[in-house]
Amino acid sequence: MAIKKFDVDVVLEQAINIFWQYGYHGTSMQQLLQATGLRPGSLYREFESKEGLYLLALSRYAADTITTVNARIQGSSSVLDGIKSILLDLFEAAKAKDYCGCFLVKTQLELSAHNESILTNVSEEFAKIEANYCAHLKTVFSPEISVQYAKQLMLIIFGIRVYSYQSEQPADIKEFILSILPWLKDDSNKNIKQG
Amino acid sequence: MAIKKFDVDVVLEQAINIFWQYGYHGTSMQQLLQATGLRPGSLYREFESKEGLYLLALSRYAADTITTVNARIQGSSSVLDGIKSILLDLFEAAKAKDYCGCFLVKTQLELSAHNESILTNVSEEFAKIEANYCAHLKTVFSPEISVQYAKQLMLIIFGIRVYSYQSEQPADIKEFILSILPWLKDDSNKNIKQG
DNA sequence: TTTATTTTTGAATGAACGTTCAAAATGTTA
DNA sequence: TAACATTTTGAACGTTCATTCAAAAATAAA
């Protein structure tokens, strides 16, 4: 029997790139076929439909997001330092000339009136991301405070993701972040939970 | 000679509703024709193209936004109170079950890789909105601080607009806002500029 | 080699897309 | 009423859309 000529993971990554840039309705199958090098039959056999491919691309993107966050936090000297550097990374990423925000956010906004099945997916993924931040925060703050801070964090991240399209960035980004989320400021916070 | 049967302003408002909900690529001419009650010929004679209609709808939406902001501030006991209530309004609006965020934000995200002519428009409108907030803030704070706070405000507004799609709102929204933008807190700020 | 199973191929499909335009209708002006 | 400028009408246009499927190719197992 014949063997697959393509790597599903690679194809998914290529699909993410296109969908992320151009959106669901803004992406044509032709673009996807060109980007992946697949023929219609192969693509449809593997992913069933444009929506099927999108759904898989989306959840793979979301998984990557959480992986990246956790890696950044574990690679930092403290949870708060990790979060700080994640926010700095977001500003940094926005400088790229092909910057295109967050795939999940774009999906949410584009499809909010359209496609329920994709949207429940997005909501779930955001909940996971928020819960992940919350879990990290709980190693530093009380559970109640952590819930609250995680909400703030998500809101600020959304803000950064969208605001970065416009205007130049603040002169001192670090200061800008800390003025909005002052609890990120000092690592003496590390002991607040116990103290 | 024949006379126009439709009111351009009404048609624009109807177009805004559809575009706002479904996005540019997600809206078909058929939907627009149905929503406006126009025939293709009339619509094209008046607006030239789908993009022409979108552009006009967009700038009318942006103008309305600034008008609303200024009305809210002028109707409040102070600039900061006005801004506070604008933010509360945003949260309130998000409770509507047909909530669909900000038309400008959705446009920015959907078309960032597509349509330059529409995007320069969006950037300009955002700059106007930020400048408008900045002007109001300058009646309270120093020019430098006002610029900084206006940036914060825009970022938070973007954040609220997107975050509102997800999850339930914070228990105490007022407190939530003030914890992120503490300078909105006390109206004693009113005198900071002079003091 | 043969058989069985899976995958690739790519032309074809019908539907939906944005747009056009000649003809009819409309109402003002002379 | 006649001449006119303007607007409406809606069928038709060519294109692009997502998707299908019968035939060919590929490889494993028998």
Taking the C-alpha atoms of residue A109 and residue A111, their distance in angstroms, rounded to an integer, is 6
The set of residues, in sequence order, having a beta carbon less than 8 Å from that of B18 and lying 6+ positions away, is B27, B31, B32, B35
pLDDT (mean) for A23-51:
98
B93-128, pLDDT tens digit by residue?
Answer: 999 988 999 999 999 999 999 988 889 889 999 999
- Which among A115, A165, A181 is the top mutation candidate for probing chain B, defined by the most B β-carbons within 10 Å of its own β-carbon? A165
Q: Does A6 touch chain B (CB under 8 A)?
A: no
The pLDDT score that the predictor gives to residue B168 is 79
The set of residues, in sequence order, having a beta carbon less than 8 Å from that of A103 and lying 6+ positions away, is A16, A19, A20, A58, A61
Inter-chain touch A26–B113, beta carbons under 8 Å: yes
Residue A71 — very low, low, confident or very high, per pLDDT cuts 50/70/90? very high
The pLDDT score that the predictor gives to residue A169 is 86
Crossing angle of helices A40-47 and A8-22, rounded to 10°: 100
Give the H/E segment covering residue B151: helix B143-163
Chain A residues closer than 8 Å to B182 by CB: 182
- Which stretches of A12-163 are assigned E, i.e. beta strand? none
The pLDDT score that the predictor gives to residue B60 is 97
The pLDDT score that the predictor gives to residue A17 is 97
CB A55 within 8 A of CB A121: yes
Closest by alpha carbon to B156, among A146, A167, A153? A153
Taking the C-alpha atoms of residue B131 and residue B111, their distance in angstroms, rounded to an integer, is 23
Q: How far is CA B100 from the centre of its chain?
A: 11
CB A104 within 8 A of CB A62: yes
Burial class (CB in 10 A: 0-12, 13-18, 19+), B1: exposed
pLDDT (mean) for A42-50:
98
Q: What is the pTM of this model?
A: 0.93
Instruction: Give the nucleotide with minimal C1' distance to the Cα of B24.
Output: C18
The pLDDT score that the predictor gives to residue A52 is 97
Give the DSSP letter of residue B189. G
B150-170, pLDDT tens digit by residue?
Answer: 999 999 999 999 999 986 788
Closest by alpha carbon to B95, among B21, B156, B169? B169
The pLDDT score that the predictor gives to residue A194 is 43
Provide Rg for chain A, Cα atoms: 19
Residue ranges of chain B whose pLDDT lies below 70: 167, 186-195
